[in-house]
Each structure stands twice: as structure tokens, then as C-alpha cells.
């Protein structure tokens, strides 16, 4: 799963002015970034997550922020049927008051978060997951034996899915239920990916008070069983596997104490043997690139993309060096990139984030 052409600078400036109006009226001239273009969805939408069920049809889970006090702050869905060129939004199409993840496949859309019983009497109090078969117009609670606040969904095959956070759950044989298959405690999981129908990886961890630890687990039977994998890196911020053996992660490293953090940085690691061992590819990511890494995706063993809060980078040497693929001085503060999404088979890509940030890869 994976839970992202403007030809002339003048036109790029105009588009930025439309998308980020209210942040600034004028900005410095922008260099051309022909690989990406801005999609105007409106600054009132804060994109939290997105998922496509095919090349054309996709959904965005977003917060809707309005200056109208009678409207206030709501969660909603946006839908596209033309590959992400245009989006239609509706703040009534979610049962959640706090949103965390979305996954679309076939005629179903899954969302997770904190159920808002005041908006939908079919939800249950607390964190849980829901499924819709009519593009969000009605929702059914996903049965589970534990409170399941999924941050990441993925498909194992045509009839089974896996979701994580804080534990790993699986839906079997197309049933809209999630059964716990691995807890991974005391640390929690934030990401899950199946590069093939049998091999899956789940990752996460925690950081704070001068310590950073990871959670990492692997399945070789389609997600039915999971084995913990011992690692030497810290809390996992991003993960992407090219196949069952080759994968990359960005980890958050922190040293110090509760009173003083003496060092904090992010590092890129690579495995070529399915997570049995990891090699350090690049360090000092935080100091070299300035912000956290909310998105990572490799299209081959040498070529990949990394999203930071304000910039999208590309590598052609396996992550040892990175060059700017997209950047804007108009993105900053709450208007920052928070995720990178690639369609299956790399059929398209988007970067997304706060207050109208939606950037589409066109090359």
C-alpha cells in the first residue's frame, strides 16, 4: 500500500497565489519544477490522508476549517474521478470527530478515528474504524475486540486487509471485521506495507525524553502471523519496501534525558535481506534538510523520493544524496507537507498537507 507541468514561472506564481491566498500576496520568483504541479482544493481543507482505489478514483480524508463560526471545524471527504485533477468535498461524509487514516479498494472506503456520535448515531464512542460502500454517504462500524485507531491500512489480496496502530489487525475473507494478530507492545505500530501477497512489514515506535526506540515486525504468511524483528535504529518515521527483500526506513534518533535533549537527528537505513540486517545510507537528515520526513518512496533500488515539511527531494544513488524536486517559499508553518502518497505500480503520486496543500506528480 502506500499507506504523492508547470512550464513557466509566471503561471506557477499565479497558481500558488490561488492556492495559498491569505498567506501572502507576493513572493519571490519560483524556479520551474516540471515534475510537479499544484492542485487547487481550497485552503479550508487540511489534508490528513489519501487513498486511490484505481488510477482515476481516489479519496482524501481532511479537516475543513471555516471562518464562518456557524460552520466551524469539521472532518470530511474529498473525491476525485479524474486522477486527482479535480476534487469535490463534503463535510457530511464522515462519522468522525478526529480522523487518522483512510483506505479505498473496490467499492469500499475505510476510515478510522474517534467516532462522533452527535453527527452519526451508527458510530461507537472512542477510537475505531468504519467502512462505507456508497462513497461515504453511510457508514458501518467495523467489529473488533479492541479499540482500533488505525493509522495505516493496506490490502494483502483481493479479499483481505491489514491495518495497524497501535496493534496489528487483519480482516479475513472479505469480512468487515478486524481481528488482532499481533500486539507488538510495549511499542506501537504506525505503518504497514505488503510488497507482495505473503510478505508484510509493520513499523513504528516512540521517541521522547532523550530516548528513541523502534517497533518492527514481519509476516511471511499474508499477515496471519507476525514475528518481531530486532533493530538498532530508533522510532520509524517513514517506511517503503520495493519487494520482499529490499526496503528503506527513516528513523528518528534522540539522545539525552527528560531535562535536556543532547542530540536529535534522522537517519536513512536500507535492507537487502528482508530486514535481517540494515545498512546506514544517510545520516544528519534533520540538520541537512531542516525538517522531519513524513514521506518516503523508492521507485527502484537507486531512485526515490523523500518529502520534508517544505520540500520534495529526489535521489538517483540509493539515498546517499538528494536534490530538490519541488520546493516553495510560500509553504511554511501550518501550510506544510505532511505526507507522500504513490498509487500502485507508481501510476501517480501526490504530496499533501495543511491548508490546501496538494501537489501532483506529472512526470
Cα 170 from chain centroid (whole Å) = 19
User: Tens digits of per-residue pLDDT, 219-236?
Assistant: 999 888 899 888 888 888
Under the banding of pLDDT at 50, 70 and 90, the label for residue 30 is very low
Provide Rg for the chain, Cα atoms.
20
Q: What is the structure's pLDDT at 45?
A: 83
Taking the whole predicted model, whether its pTM rises above 0.75 is answered as: yes
| Pick from 102-106, 118-122, 201-205: least confident | 118-122
Which DSSP string do the residues of 306-337 spell out, in sequence order?
A: EE-SSEEEEESSTTSS-EEEEE-TT-BTTB-E
Among candidates 87, 77, 91, which has minimal Cα distance to 41?
87
Q: Which residues pair with 239 in a beta bridge?
A: 249
Q: What is the structure's pLDDT at 328?
A: 67
Residue 121 has pLDDT above 70, yes or no: no
Q: What is the structure's pLDDT at 99?
A: 58
Domains by residue range for the chain, with CATH: 1-143+304-363 (no CATH), 151-289 (2.120.10.10)
The cell numbers describing 252, all together, are 528518528
Sign of CA dihedral 85, 86, 91, 95: negative
Residue tagged 514521506 (cell numbers): 295
Provide the pairing of β-strand 189-193 with 200-208: antiparallel
Q: What is the structure's pLDDT at 274?
A: 95
Among candidates 154, 284, 272, which has minimal Cα distance to 222?
154
User: Tens digits of per-residue pLDDT, 260-301?
Assistant: 666 677 889 999 999 999 999 988 887 777 667 788 999 999
User: Tens digits of per-residue pLDDT, 169-182?
Assistant: 777 665 566 777 87
Amino acid at each position: 500500500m502506500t499507506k504523492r507541468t508547470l512550464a513557466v514561472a509566471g503561471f506557477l506564481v499565479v497558481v500558488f497565489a490561488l492556492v495559498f491566498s491569505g498567506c501572502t500576496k507576493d513572493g519571490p520568483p519560483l524556479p520551474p519544477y516540471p515534475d510537479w504541479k499544484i492542485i487547487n482544493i481550497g485552503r479550508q481543507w487540511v489534508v490528513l490522508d489519501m487513498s486511490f482505489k484505481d488510477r482515476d478514483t481516489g479519496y482524501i480524508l481532511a479537516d475543513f476549517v471555516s471562518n464562518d463560526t456557524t460552520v466551524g471545524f469539521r472532518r470530511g471527504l474529498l473525491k476525485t474521478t479524474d486522477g486527482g485533477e479535480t476534487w469535490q468535498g463534503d463535510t457530511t461524509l464522515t462519522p468522525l470527530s478526529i480522523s487518522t487514516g483512510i483506505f479505498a479498494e473496490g467499492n469500499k472506503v475505510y476510515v478510522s478515528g474517534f467516532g462522533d456520535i452527535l453527527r452519526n448515531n451508527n458510530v461507537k464512542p472512542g477510537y475505531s474504524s468504519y467502512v462505507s460502500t456508497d462513497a461515504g454517504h453511510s457508514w458501518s462500524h467495523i467489529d473488533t475486540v479492541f479499540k482500533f485507531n488505525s493509522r495505516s491500512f493496506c490490502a494483502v489480496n483481493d479479499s483481505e486487509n491489514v491495518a495497524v496502530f497501535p496493534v496489528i489487525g487483519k480482516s479475513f475473507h472479505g469480512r468487515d471485521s478486524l481481528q488482532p494478530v499481533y500486539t507488538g507492545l510495549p511499542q506501537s505500530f504506525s505503518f504497514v506495507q505488503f510488497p507482495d501477497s505473503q510478505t508484510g512489514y509493520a513499523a513504528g515506535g516512540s521517541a521522547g525524553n532523550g530516548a528513541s526506540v523502534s517497533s518492527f515486525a514481519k509476516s511471511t504468511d499474508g499477515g496471519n502471523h507476525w514475528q518481531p524483528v530486532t533493530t538498532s535504529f530508533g522510532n520509524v518515521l517513514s517506511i517503503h519496501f520495493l519487494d520482499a527483500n529490499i526496503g528503506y526506513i527513516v528513523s528518528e534518533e534522540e539522545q539525552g534525558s527528560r531535562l535536556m535533549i543532547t542530540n536529535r537527528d534522522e537517519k536513512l537505513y536500507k535492507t537487502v535481506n528482508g530486514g535481517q540486517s540494515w545498512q546506514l545510507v544517510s545520516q544528519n537528515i534533520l540538520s541537512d534538510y531542516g525538517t522531519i520526513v513524513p514521506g518516503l518512496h523508492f521507485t527502484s533500488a537507486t531512485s526515490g523520493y523523500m518529502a520534508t515539511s517544505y520540500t520534495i527531494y529526489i535521489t538517483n544513488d540509493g539515498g546517499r544524496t538528494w536534490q530538490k524536486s519541488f520546493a516553495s517559499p510560500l509553504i511554511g508553518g501550518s501550510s506544510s507537507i505532511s505526507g507522500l502518497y504513490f498509487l500502485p505500480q507508481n501510476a501517480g503520486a501526490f504530496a499533501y498537507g495543511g491548508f490546501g496543500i496538494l501537489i501532483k506528480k506529472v512526470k
